[in-house]
Amino acid sequence: MASITDQILAVLVIFLIIFPSPLRSDSIQIYVVNNLYNNQILTVHCKSSTHKDLGTKIMAHGASFNWLGDINVPGENEIWLCAMNTGKVNGLFAIFVSNRDNTRCGEVCEWSVKDDGIYLYIPSDNDFVLQFTWPH
């Protein structure tokens, strides 16, 4: 016969399975910031693997835009691909992959687009870390 402690623990585990943690939402805020030099314009067009399309954004230097990425899409690993163009270089980048980013970003995935590549703010490093370089 199970002890009262074992029974309470079993009920707690079942409760946590049925009700998601209030400390973690089902989405992550994703930011893209234009930090290109010499006031360059950045054109961005993002689409998700779950058929969401943010349309084309034309961003002045220092401008940003944001959206929500889902981290608990049943049966799917939501991926956001963003085509970026600086007028000099362009590329297609996996800006958000739920299985990859749901823990490394924290509550926010903040991307900084620079002349040498695309940087992600990593909370554990307390810094922006280069993730993608521009194709040559």
- Cα–Cα distance, 47 to 80 (Å, whole number): 6
Determine the average pLDDT of the residues in 102-112. Answer: 91
Q: Where are the domains of the chain?
A: 22-132
Q: Determine the Cα–Cα distance for residues 34 and 121; give it in Å rounded to an integer.
A: 14
**Average pLDDT, integer, range 98-107:** 87
What's the chain's length in residues? 136
Spelled out in words, what is the top-level CATH class assigned to the domain 22-132? mainly beta
Q: How does pLDDT run across 34-71, given as a tens digit for each residue?
A: 999 999 999 999 999 989 999 999 999 999 999 998 87
pLDDT average, residue stretch 112-120: 97
Q: Which of 23, 19, 112, 29 is nearest to 69 (CA)?
A: 29
The number of helix segments (H) and strand segments (E) in the chain equals 2, 9
Supply the pTM of this predicted model.
0.78
Confidence grade of residue 90 (pLDDT, cut at 50, 70, 90)? very high
